[in-house]
Amino acid sequence: MKLKDKKGDNMRTLIRNINLVNPYEIFFGYGVVVEQDKIVEINIEDNIKIENIDLVIDGKGNFLAPGFVDIHNHGNMGFDIMDSTEDAIDNIGKFHLQNGVTSYLGTVITSSYENMSNAIRNLANYKNKNELSQLIGIHLEGPFFSLDKKGAQPGKYIKKPNMEDIREIFNISNEGLKMVSIAPETFGALDIISYLKSKDVTVALAHSNASFEETQIGINYGATVATHLYNGMREFNHREPGIIGAALLDERVYCEIIYDRIHLHDAAVKIAVKMKGADKIVLVSDSMMAAGLSDGDYELGGQKVIVKNSTARLETGSLAGSTLNLRDAVYNMIHYLDIPIKDAIRMASLSPAKAIGINSHKGSIEIGKDADMILIDKDINVLGTMVMGEWKSCSN
């Protein structure tokens, strides 16, 4: 309902009649006021002065939650980050927003230096559009990995850590590089971890055969995320807990979880949640171009991927990303593990924002933060989205 025909920088929007998820409990009877692209007031509805409001959005008793933040995804709807085109990013952002993701990192897979550089330049030069999920940076997944744990990373492009390459990549990114996944045990990795931390880039542990001790050293040098925990890393053993044991035990580490109920057994996810708590679990999609589409043949990093029963695999049988979206990951947490809705939402919003250091302005509904919010029902169906103060209804 529009109260005033007003446009411009000072337009004020009220979202009312909501269950407000923010971020450790749910508030009833509150309204949220947005001015321009920021949240400026959170108050009991009766205390909000309606004469100062230009647009009222009726939440109809549904949940207003912070927009999801996906820090690990390669594409969707037939498009891949490695396509290196504006059209690809536009379409990827459109699908993200339909599934409650208001901001994301574009993930660049291991490839030739030329392909990675082209993708990074394309991401760095991309200009966000208000009607789409916001591209907030770059996640470089590779190429400094262990061949033994390469998973779906193209083996021919995996290389030893090289400081010259990573410096050049950082420069190409125009400071858009937000996270780099690396195997900490590889020769030269510790120097790169130190360099990236000096540039305020989050360092993640991935595709690694690191022992428990080697992982601890990597964490001490500054690594703070375990990329898709359990997958692409040394298996846990009671005599050598390895990278999994170190990540679960160390309070400094956030753990990514691909909860499509394909990559991980429910019990493995439950163990991680019990060990880390909602504040340190980061739900990610790790989606590839088949997300949102039917079964068939696709590509990831130039490799053929066969999607059958929504499961993406290389011809070798290795899992190759997922067809998941964060909306479904949150739903799975709630409906298969009985995680409270507020905690499941935090794993997809505030926790990832903290993991990459953007929680000062993203990840929760708080005064002064960016107006990135989603209206959802109890089954996490997305009814409406707000990105940087721009409202878009998704319901009929």
Phi first, then psi: give them for residue 245, nearest 5 degrees.
Answer: -60, -40
pLDDT number for residue 5? 43
Residues 6+ apart with CB under 8 A from 47: none
Report pLDDT for 396: 47
Instruction: Judge contact between 348 and 34, C-beta under 8 A.
Output: no
Backbone angles phi, psi at 324, to 5 degrees: -80, 155
Give the per-residue pLDDT at 10.
79
pLDDT given at position 134? 97
Q: What is the pLDDT of residue 248?
A: 98
DSSP letter for 322, please.
B
Low-confidence ranges of the chain (pLDDT < 50): 1-7, 396
Q: What is the pTM of this model?
A: 0.95
205 membership: H or E segment, kind and range:
strand 202-205
- pLDDT for the residue numbered 176: 97
**How many C-beta atoms lie closer than 10 Å to residue 355's C-beta?**
26
How many angstroms separate the first and last alpha carbons of the chain? 15
Question: For residue 8, what pLDDT is reported?
Answer: 53
The angle formed by the CA atoms of residues 365, 368 and 373, to the nearest 5 degrees, is 30
Q: What is the CA radius of gyration of the chain?
A: 21
Residue 302 pLDDT: 85
Cα separation of 221 and 96, whole Å? Answer: 33
CB atoms within 10 A of CB 110: 24
Dig out the tokens for 222 from the structure: 């500054």
Helix axes 163-172, 189-198, angle to 10 degrees: 30
Q: How many CB atoms lie within 10 A of CB 5?
A: 6
φ, ψ (nearest 5 deg) of residue 219: -65, -40
Q: Domains in the chain, start-ordered, CATH in brackets?
A: 12-66+364-393 (2.30.40.10), 68-355 (3.20.20.140)
- What pLDDT is attached to residue 395? 61
Catalytic site positions:
286
Q: Is 281 helix (H, G, I), strand (E, B) or coil?
A: strand
Tokens 């004469």, located at residue: 51
Asked if 161 and 186 touch (Cβ cutoff 8 Å), the reply is yes
pLDDT tens by residue, 84-113: 999 999 999 999 999 999 999 999 999 999
How far is C-alpha 168 from the geometric centre of its chain's CA atoms? Answer: 25
Taking only the tens place, the pLDDT of each residue in 307-355 is 999 999 999 999 999 999 999 999 999 999 999 999 999 999 999 999 9
* Among 98, 171, 180, CA closest to 133: 98
Nearest residue to 333 (alpha-carbon basis) of 343, 323, 320: 343
The predicted-structure confidence for 348-382, as pLDDT tens digits, reads as follows: 999 999 999 999 999 999 999 999 999 999 999 99
